Amino acid sequence: MDQQWCPDVVRRLATDFMGTFLPKMKVHAPALPALVEALRETGSTNIVDLCTGMGGPLLAYKRQLEAEVGAPLTITLTDLFPNHRVRD
């Protein structure tokens, strides 16, 4: 989707789908324990989300992660061609 020949509407539809439905389907939930463990072991409260599209799954799980880590988290979203309609 990051290729120049890919129409913007296709990219937006794909990132909208991934940002809306994948968190509701909880497909990323199995990765959360490993992320919580990494945050605890490193003492970090900062996460950099690479290739995030329109916000990625981390925003959907932010409150849960903060509760499990016991600290507020700072999440930095990055993308080569960001979809600026990021949800919170």
The two tokens of residue 73 are 């988290």
* pTM (two decimals): 0.74
The confidence score (pLDDT) of residue 20 equals 79
DSSP conformation class of 29: G
Residue 36: CA count within 13 A, CB half-sphere: 17
Over the stretch 27-79, which tens digit does the pLDDT of each residue have?
889 999 999 999 999 999 999 988 876 666 788 899 999 999 999 999 998 88
> Biggest alpha carbon distance in the chain?
44
The confidence score (pLDDT) of residue 86 equals 47
Q: Is the pLDDT of residue 83 over 70?
A: no
Confidence band for 84, pLDDT divided at 50, 70 and 90: low
